[in-house]
Amino acid sequence: MGLPAFKLPEKSGYVSADDYLAIELDAETRHEYANGRVWAMAGAEMAHNDINYNLNQVIGPQQRKNGCKANMSDLWVQTKNRSGYLYPDTVVVCGTPMLSDEVKPRSLTNPVLVVEVTSASTAERDHYEKFTLYRRIDSLRQYLMLSSEEVHAEIYTLDELGRWIFTETRDLSAVLDLSSIGCQVPLAEVYAGVELERA
């Protein structure tokens, strides 16, 4: 039987990466780790899963032509200096995956694209804390957030000068340029058949 929850130090609330890994491997539910903080991952609503599934259906055939491969939800991503262990909704690697050997299941260290489907309860963390960790990964070229509450896509793209360029759209006729993996994604296909989580 797995451990029911993390036991945090009473004074600081800080959890070391080693302690997190030791507990996570035996836990019944998944947890994410960021800079000494740990939080449990709640189950996703249907809209969240539908958006992520639709996205993967669109990028699947295109990305394979460029030697890339997407994984949904269960692939662990390790950020620089072990500051984060996260489970993106979709993560894409191009070429040979680089996996950490410190524990099994092994965590990916060289994603090119990370995708998070946001909700009211996760949007702030996805926008700030998690993106801060993701963008420290040397291989990362794009970070895409898709809202499960409205038609809304936000993309951060790393340019040739090392700047993160932000673009967004709420236009259902828009086509997302996922240049990092050579994919063009019609937003209408991502949201096709999705019953949005209206607040």
Statement to judge: residues 153 and 58 lie in one domain = yes
Report pLDDT digits (tens) over 41-55: 877 789 999 999 999
State the maximum Cα–Cα separation within the chain, in Å, rounded to a whole number.
52
Residue 73 confidence (pLDDT): 75
Residue 199 confidence (pLDDT): 57
Q: How far apart are CA 170 and CA 181, in angstroms?
A: 22
169, with CB counted inside 10 A (0-12, 13-18, 19+), is middle
Statement to judge: residues 23 and 101 lie in one domain = no
Statement to judge: residues 36 and 109 lie in one domain = no
* Within a domain: 87: yes
Statement to judge: residues 116 and 173 lie in one domain = yes
Residue 106 confidence (pLDDT): 84
What percent of the chain has pLDDT above 70? Answer: 93
Statement to judge: residues 125 and 180 lie in one domain = yes
Number of domains in the chain: 2
Residue 10 confidence (pLDDT): 41
Statement to judge: residues 144 and 180 lie in one domain = yes
Domain with 3 in it: 1-41
Q: How far apart are CA 138 and CA 180, in angstroms?
A: 13
Strands 113-118 and 142-147: parallel
Report pLDDT digits (tens) over 143-170: 999 999 999 999 999 999 999 999 999 9
Q: Does position 9 have pLDDT exceeding 60, yes or no?
A: no
Q: Does position 4 have pLDDT exceeding 60, yes or no?
A: no
Q: Does position 67 have pLDDT exceeding 70, yes or no?
A: yes
Q: How far apart are CA 89 and CA 132, in angstroms?
A: 17
Token pair in block for residue 163: 């700047």
Write down the residue that tokens 């599934």 correspond to: 53
Residue 11 confidence (pLDDT): 40
* Within a domain: 195: no
Statement to judge: residues 25 and 59 lie in one domain = no
* Within a domain: 13: yes
* Within a domain: 199: no
Q: What is the mean pLDDT of residues 116-131?
A: 91
Q: How far apart are CA 98 and CA 178, in angstroms?
A: 21
**Residue 171: pLDDT band by 50, 70, 90 thresholds?**
very high
Statement to judge: residues 51 and 136 lie in one domain = yes
DSSP 140-165: --EEEEEESSSS-EEEEEE-TTS-EE
Statement to judge: residues 76 and 17 lie in one domain = no
pTM score > 0.85 for this model?
Answer: yes
Statement to judge: residues 69 and 34 lie in one domain = no
Residue 29 confidence (pLDDT): 86
